[in-house]
Amino acid sequence: MRPLRSPAPRALLTTAAVAVSLAAADTYVVVLALTDMMRGVGVGIDALQRATPIISGFLLGYVAVLPLIGRVADLVDRQRVLLGCLGVFVVGSVITALAVELPVLVGGRVVQGVGGGGLVPATLAIVAQLWPPDRRGVPLGVVGAVQELGSVLGPVLGALVLVIADWRAIFWINAGLGLLLVGAVVVTGGLTVPRPRPVVLVLAAAAVAAGFLALAAPDSLTTSVSLGLPFVPFGTATSRLATPIGLVAGILLLALFTVGGRGVWGLLRRADLLGAVLLGGALGCVVLTFAASEPESEVVGPLGFALLPVAALLAVGYAVHHRRSPSPLVPRGLVRGRLVWALVVSLLVGVALVAVIVDVPLLARLVHTSSQTEAALVLVRFLVAVPVGALAGGWALRRLGDGVVAALGLGVAAAGLAVMTTWGEGSLDDASSTLVLALTGLGIGLTLAPVNDAALAEASRDTHGTASALVVVARMVGMVVGVALLTAVGLNQYYAAVSALPDPTDTEALKNAAVVQVTWVFRGAAVAAVLGAVASLALGGRRQNAPPAPPVVGL
């Protein structure tokens, strides 16, 4: 990996951080627009389970490619990885905006997730390359803060757009912002953009034009007697892609990859594409198993029991491949020492985080309000505090060790979750509940920078991208698996409480049983936070000062 030279490192970090925030917001932006999106692709509100892939598809793309993109970020300039991920994000946003059928909409969300997920490890690796180890705390805190800020901004921005436009405008805005960020990365990253061959430019322009026409299907063309033939579906097909213009777009896209993608395929082979398929497939199966479930009533999704054995086989396949490959996806010897503990802590942080995100709104609907919007506002008390904690954690690393800051944060989070286990009727009406939620969010936020800092400190400069990706993967796996495991514990207690009721039709008693389920989820999350605090001590109790490093231009 060549040294990163940026004429404006802080501006580059700001640009990358805004990109990370945009992608993170897109995870939550569909919360309020989901029903409109369902109608837009012909799915009725009575078939809500069919809309699950709109959310889980983004998460699938986000997680499954993280190891591959992290490895790619170790092989080429990380600014170029940012550009590539932003380009993929823009393409996914345009596909989503044009979709009029569910498979296309889900496909667009998956592509968005692929682009959005890759931004995080590339940005963290840039921080590691531009700032010496003893000065990374604040930049890492900034990245953690903007990543969590997306959970607050996503629904808010989505709601603002829906006031003045339809749901498609959300994704057109995403595409426009993505293109602006592409230009900003080129300028702040000091990149020289190579001039592609004319044939590649022609193929790219033709593929984009044909793909846009196929998905948009303008009325002026489709209703024309002379120009409408390319838009007529084949046979009994109804998809806009199953048309002559859709076929042309596919052929042009294939030709573009064949002619212009030789360097990309060579890079992917160097990054261990087979290993990425095996490991990404295993992660994808895990995500679909748990993310497609309804957390209030079931542990795994409808395909879970079929996907989990596939995930196990793929994981075994990757383990065998890892031993035999001369250059595996995850470099040999990388996962050791403090990186192992960073992954453990990141996973447990994900468990604690998802418990609050899922079950605080559920508790609010049970004991505080019948409005889903008001229940979401209760959660905002927690969400706003997480990025504040991330910034505070990065600042604290100037003087304290990674382990001290992370253990302190998870200790505070565990205390807050312990208080939540006592909540019931009227608890959320008390002002003290806001303090508890804010402190819990602050505690979880405090852990983000030290976990990333420990992982980067353990990895060599040439593996920073992979190490960062693994930390993000561990946290996401902790979230999707944690919500399932904690739900299993809660449901067990719920059914035990219901079976003990003298009158199973008593609605008030059933509500109290549901509160028992939620509080048991908080108990499990508190245990995860305590375990995370203990594991954090292995990250190091003292500030790790590095030997003097050559100054970086612009710092």
Place of tokens 């957390």: 295
Q: In this prediction, what percent of the chain has a pLDDT beyond 90?
A: 43
> ∠ CA 462-463-468 to the nearest 5 degrees?
135
Of the listed ranges 40-49, 138-147, 261-270, 488-497, the one predicted with least confidence: 40-49
Q: Which residues contact 360 (CB under 8 A, 6 or more apart)?
A: 378, 379, 382, 420, 437
What confidence tens digit (pLDDT) does each residue in 414-427 have? 999 999 999 988 88
d(CA 295, CA 171): 27
Q: Give 300's pLDDT tier (boundaries 50, 70, 90).
A: low
Distances (CA, A) of 62 to 91, 244, 276, 324, 370: 15, 32, 14, 27, 33
- The residue among 478 and 33 whose pLDDT is bigger is 478
Arithmetic mean of pLDDT over the chain? 86
- The predicted pLDDT at position 11 comes to 86
Distances (CA, A) of 71 to 61, 64, 469: 16, 13, 8
Q: Tokens for 169?
A: 């405008």
d(CA 388, CA 441): 8
Distances (CA, A) of 133 to 71, 263, 465: 21, 33, 15
Residue 165 pLDDT exceeds 90: no
Residue 179 pLDDT exceeds 70: yes
Q: Are 171 and 47 in contact (CB under 8 A)?
A: no
Q: Tokens for 343?
A: 């992954």
Average pLDDT over residues 272-280: 93
Q: Which domains are present in the chain? A: 1-194 (1.20.1250.20), 336-546 (1.20.1250.20)
- The predicted pLDDT at position 112 comes to 94
By C-alpha distance, which of 147, 153, 19, 32 is closest to 90?
19
Residue 135 pLDDT exceeds 90: no
Distances (CA, A) of 74 to 118, 460, 461: 12, 10, 8
- The predicted pLDDT at position 555 comes to 34
- The predicted pLDDT at position 278 comes to 95
pTM (two decimals): 0.88
> ∠ CA 350-28-26 to the nearest 5 degrees?
105
Residue 28 pLDDT exceeds 80: no
What confidence tens digit (pLDDT) does each residue in 447-486 have? 999 999 999 999 988 899 999 999 999 999 998 888 888 8
- The predicted pLDDT at position 3 comes to 54
d(CA 462, CA 464): 6
Residue 503 pLDDT exceeds 80: no
d(CA 170, CA 162): 8
Burial class (CB in 10 A: 0-12, 13-18, 19+), 261: middle
